[in-house]
Structure 1
Amino acid sequence: MPQDIVFSFFLIFAGALVLATFALYTRQPILVAYIALGAIAGPYGMGWIEHPDELTDMAHIGIIFLLFLLGLDMQPSSLFAVLKKAMSVALLSSLLFFGVGAGVTHLLGYGFMDAIIVGLALMFSSTIIGLKLLPTTVLHHKHSGELMVGLLLIQDMIAILTLILLGVLSGESDQPVWQPFLALPVLAAACYLIVKLILLPLIQRFDRYQEYLFIMAIGWCLAVAEAAAVIGLSEEIGAFIAGVTLATSPIAQFMAISLKPLRDFFLVMFFFTLGAGVNLGMLEEVLVGAVLLAGAVMTLKPLTFRVLLGRFSETPKLAWDVGFRLGQISEFSLLVVFVAIESALLTERASLLVQATAIITFVLSSYIVVFNYPNPIAISDKLRRD
């Protein structure tokens, strides 16, 4: 029987209201409530939503809007400056995380290819967790916010190359490794010209019509995201480029404010589908390994970023802040696992190991940030910053 989309939305948002209320009363991070709801209502829990994968694409739109909003508040000059510093840190840390992930997985008794792919999955930190828990003033107007955006963007590029590599290994992709490096500047230049020659004149002429500007923002974001996917980049990078090229527009802030509720709508769905996708019946098989991997990730990532950023003249306080905010694995890790499973390069047991590690690091990392660093959903009034 086809899944009732209206019932699914009712269950997700009514259930999120109940659990979020409980989370606030018990002083817990709201994100944890959304993940818990997915585990309860999903196919491995009560089974109220049998096919959460049908909601995954819609949930993914929240990530696209998140990156678009980031781009709207980042001037190109600031972006280039921070990427130069973040490049070395992102590359060195990714190599280290890969080695640790592959080594621990191999010691747990998994096969060679399983260890390699789990190592690849552990290289990345979560864009959603990292940026969702940053106060807006830090994200858009402070160096630490720009630095985190730079690190996550470079990790996104590494993730794209990883997905291309997996496609080559499986024989299902003939896309050359160099293609993203050529596609990125071409897409950015094309977007700059379109904004300058077409969108800005339209904005100047019709800036009184707020509905028109709202439609333009969504259309431009999704158009560039799709164009990026076609030429071998990710939708997230395309959305970010769409935002950056519009950042100099006088109505960029209006677009950002207008799209925030839409972004949050889809991000609730993302965390729900994340919780619903975990096979609770098989969890016991990988629980010990997932706890060990999660412990390694949450110990190593903050320490690594502290050391590497410290070597680039960042203050210890800022380096620890960035390190703990990036102390988890990523939604890209889950995509790497999905592609590897589809290509028969990864066993189901290793796939569940990564999924369980993702859930553990998402939840515990959220707790660490919410209770210790300024963030929009802090329980303490002292730490709450919107």
Structure 2
Amino acid sequence: MSETVFQSFFLIFTGSAIIASMAIFGRQPLLVAYITLGALIGPYGLGWVQDVHLLSEISEIGIIFLLFLLGLDLQPKSLLRAFRKVTVVTLISSLIFASAGYLIARLFDFTTTESLIIGAAMMFSSTIIGIKLLPTTILHHRHIGEMMIGLLLMQDFLAIFVLLVLLSGDGGQINITQIGITLLALPLLILFAWGFVRWVLLKLIAKFDQMGEYIFLLAIGWCMGLSELAEVLGLSREIGAFLAGITIASSPISQHIALTLKPLRDFFLIMFFFSLGAGFNLGLLPEIALAAATLGVAMLILKPVIFRVLLERQSERKVLAWDLGFRLGQISEFSLLIAYVAFNASLIGVMASHLIQAAAILTFLVSSYIVTFNFPNPIAVSEKLRRN
């Protein structure tokens, strides 16, 4: 390992340990501490950590593990039941959020194409924050957990479609043929994953389930392998990881695998939030501050209200509808990926890209505070609200 990489890891994790301790004593959410540390010592702050691009790529593994673990905890029948309940809510809410984002972007004189992409980035809520701040007992054993996972996964599928459109762009042009080819690959990937698990993976697990090290390696290999295959087919590693998890969810050993991988997931998620803060160019903030604040605040207000109204119309209890609404009241990490992909495809400019990033970070921070101080969660500063 090079000296630079080791020093970066030292600064990230030793710094995170210190600032997390300060955050706990100061009754602040840990996610805020990680993002703040990134902004403080990243290339646009003190400059102690320079190669944020490499660290960001490494940290994306945390998202892959997160979706793999989500899949492990979901039975296909439960997932289909949740999809039936949340499809209408997801589609209507996404249309409302996209329209609001588009109108706000046009208000600040962004082009039509930029405004459409900014609006699309507003449709989604953060899987990382939504799941990380939901207690495990509620996530796996309560109706609210099933509803949240259903909503987030429906949003993820929409996000992947948006990314497919953007990834087909070449110099600002959209390739419809490439989009169609990629969409055809999804059912083929599902069929392959189901068959491989049934005739190969589950047999290996049953034969060697007493060898913990081998099962650990097999689980990581399956997760990474299907993720990479999904990427090759033009989908996304995230979708591959989720399919890898859900296809072995029926195995009795799935919960053991989930518990084993959680520390590894948390390791990479710390890096994700650090790279999120470190990758933002603070020098552009004055130029987009008003637009970002308007967009972020609009989403923070609009999302809880819209989710509450739509879920209550689906016969959900008002308390649950408000709870879910506030937990999903931020912009998504997929929005950051949309900004990155659209900028690289020359579909948006640097200001539009940073507008999406700034609004996302703002909603990450404020939403984390709202949930941490008002709803049961694993990192609550109040013992009354702390639930593991």
Q: What's the TM-score bracket when you normalise by the shorter of the two chains?
A: over 0.9
What is the alpha-carbon distance in structure 2 between the residues aligned to residue 382 and residue 211 of structure 1? 38
Larger mean CA deviation between 263-272 and 113-122 belongs to 113-122
Cα 1:155–1:179, aligned 2, differ >3 Å: closer, same or farther? Answer: farther
Indicate the residue corresponding to 1:212 in structure 2.
214
The CA distance in 1 between the partners of 2:322 and 2:3, in whole Å, is: 45
For normalisation by structure 2, the TM-score amounts to 0.96
1:198 corresponds to: 200
Gaps of 5+ in 1: none
- Whole-Å Cα distance in 1 between the matches of residues 375 and 313 of structure 2? 23
Note the C-alpha offset of 1:186. Answer: 2.5
For 1:65, the equivalent position in structure 2 comes to: 65
1:76 aligns with 2:88: no
1:142 and 2:139 correspond = no
Show the 5 A alignment for 1:77-92: 77-92=77-92
Q: Cα offset for 1:73?
A: 1.0
Assess if the C-alpha contact under 8 Å between 1:164 and 1:173 holds in 2: no
The CA deviation at 1:220 is 0.6
Q: What TM-score do you get using the length of structure 1 for normalisation?
A: 0.97
* 1:169-188 matches, cutoff 5 A: 169=169, 170-171=172-173, 173=175, 175-179=177-181, 181-188=183-190
> Equivalents in 1 of 2:344, 2:20: separation in Å?
35
Asked whether the equivalents of residues 164 and 175 of structure 1 are also in contact (C-alpha less than 8 Å), the reply is: no
Contact 1:301 1:324 in 2 (8 A): yes
1:100 aligns with 2:103: no
Q: Say how many residue pairs are matched.
A: 385
What's the counterpart of residue 299 of structure 1?
A: 301
Q: CA RMSD in A?
A: 1.4
Aligned partner letter, 2:31: L
CA offset digits 1:282-332 (Å, max 9, x no partner): 111111111111110000001111111111111111111111111111111
Residues in 2 aligned to 1:51 and 1:384: alpha-carbon distance in whole angstroms = 36
Pick one of 372, 382, 385 that aligns with 1:380.
382
CA distance in 1: counterparts of 2:181 and 2:368, whole angstroms: 35
Alpha-carbon spacing, 1:178–1:151, altered in 2? closer, same or farther (3 Å):
farther
Letter in 1 for 2:194: Y
| Residue in 1 that maps onto 2:359 | 357
Measured after TM superposition, the shift of residue 371 of structure 1 is: 0.5
Q: Which moved more, 1:230-239 or 1:121-130?
A: 230-239
Q: What is the letter of the counterpart of residue 348 of structure 1?
A: V
Of residues 327, 346, 349 in structure 2, which corresponds to 1:325? 327
Structure 2 residue runs without a partner (length 5+): none
- Tell me the equivalent position of 2:158: 158
Q: Which amino acid aligns with 1:355?
A: Q
Q: Contact conserved, 2:164 with 2:182, CA < 8 A, in 1?
A: no
Report how far residue 180 of structure 1 moved: 5.2
| CA 1:56–1:3: 2 relative to 1, 3 Å | farther
Question: How many angstroms apart in 1 are the aligned matches of 2:113 and 2:175?
Answer: 18
Alignment of 1:211-250 (within 5 A): 211-250=213-252
Q: Which residue of 2 aligns with 1:337?
A: 339
Q: 1:54 Cα deviation (Å)?
A: 1.2
Contact 1:62–1:265, Cα closer than 8 Å, also in 2: yes
Task: Identify the residue that residue 288 of structure 1 maps to in structure 2.
Answer: 290
Mapped to 2, the partners of 1:81 and 1:280 lie a distance apart of 44
Residues 1:106 and 1:30: Cα distance change in structure 2 (over 3 Å) = same
Give the counterpart letter for 2:259 in structure 1. Answer: I
Q: Deviations along 1:225-279, whole A, 9 cap, x unmatched?
A: 1112222322112111111111111111110010000000000000000000111
1:76/1:244 contact within 8 Å kept: yes
Choose 229-238 or 315-324, whichever is displaced more.
229-238
Letter in 1 for 2:350: E
Q: Secondary structure at the match of 2:316?
A: coil
CA distance in 1 between partners of 2:358 and 2:67 (Å): 26
Question: Could you tell me which residue of structure 2 aligns to residue 133 of structure 1?
Answer: 133
